[in-house]
Amino acid sequence: MSLPTVSESEPAATRTARLHPIGWVALASLAAALVAHLFTDTDYLVGNFTWWWWIVLALAVAMSRWHTGLNRLRIWIEAIPTVTLRITMFLAWAVFALQFFNVITRYSNEYVDQDILIGEVVSLAWQSFGLMFLVAINVGVRDGVNPRIDFWWANFSARTKAALDFAMHTVLLLPFVFMSVRILQSYVASSLGRKAGSGEWPEGWRVWNSWEQAVDAGGLPVGPIKAFLLVGFALFGLQLLAEVIKTGFVLVGRPDYGAVVGRDAPQRIE
């Protein structure tokens, strides 16, 4: 995939001093939050940022001027899917082994305590299957395997593709992930045993006794797998941030940092 070239007449210092588009997004968020906080009586999140969110947005503006540091952050984030991909491969083999065991014992259940062991194995298999997708969602985003209308998308220039991805990730996906993480915090805490009324965590070292239990007989507790919903969305959001950084570099004419994944797969409609 060809990337936009930088004009040779433009000084390198000028290109580096350009504000990365993520900085403009952070500035717009700061302005909206400030107006909502000072001039409106609103319960919406944009008018009720906690103190550390103001710091995060200010740091985003500062980092948008430091292209080298922003690119290093992107590289660090994109190292995470390499680890999660290995975990996913292990989980895939685990699911195969568990389901194979389930098939074998189905026809030899007189030798196995069917009410307990098979129920636990089936529960472990579906939890491993769900975990496999939760920890690998960032791999799909990094490698660019998300569905597209390829026969239409393939004709766009690299800059147009970057602009569309930057806009969609910033306006739609990142706010969705942010909202999901906030909602899942109480949901995950409840499934791991935190009391809804008082907000207190159970005492004692036998924490698994407080986890949400499966409704089926012999099933494993579902608290841990529900907790990984939060982990999966966090990984998803981090990789989306890396994509925003990459596509933003393409938009400001930094092809050396805009390492956007190009695909040579056949055109298809999904």
Q: What is the DSSP string of 65-112?
A: T-HHHHHHHHHHHHHHHHHHHHHHHHHHHHHHHHHHHHHHHHT-GGGS
Give me the pLDDT at residue 148, please: 64
pTM assigned to the model:
0.81
What gap in Å lies between CA 82 and CA 75, rounded to an integer? 11
Beta carbons within 10 angstroms of residue 77's beta carbon: 19
Closest CA to 252 of 30, 34, 70, 58: 70
Encoded tokens for 42: 């609103």
Helix axes of 21-39 and 51-63: crossing angle, nearest 10 degrees: 150
Q: Residue 148 class from Cβ within 10 Å (0-12 exposed, 13-18 middle, 19+ buried)?
A: middle
Domain boundaries, the chain: 77-251
What gap in Å lies between CA 178 and CA 27, rounded to an integer? 18
Give me the pLDDT at residue 261, please: 59
Question: Under a CB-based contact definition with an 8 Å cutoff, are residues 65 and 27 in contact?
Answer: no
In the chain, which ranges are continuous DSSP H helix?
A: 12-17, 21-39, 51-63, 67-106, 119-142, 150-153, 158-168, 174-191, 223-251
Q: Return per-residue pLDDT of the chain as tens, 270 residues.
A: 344 444 444 444 444 458 899 999 999 988 988 888 888 776 666 767 778 888 999 999 998 989 999 999 999 999 999 999 999 999 999 999 988 888 887 776 666 555 556 778 888 888 999 999 999 999 988 887 766 666 677 778 888 888 988 999 999 999 999 889 988 988 888 888 887 777 787 777 677 778 888 777 667 888 889 999 999 999 999 999 999 999 999 998 887 787 665 555 445 444
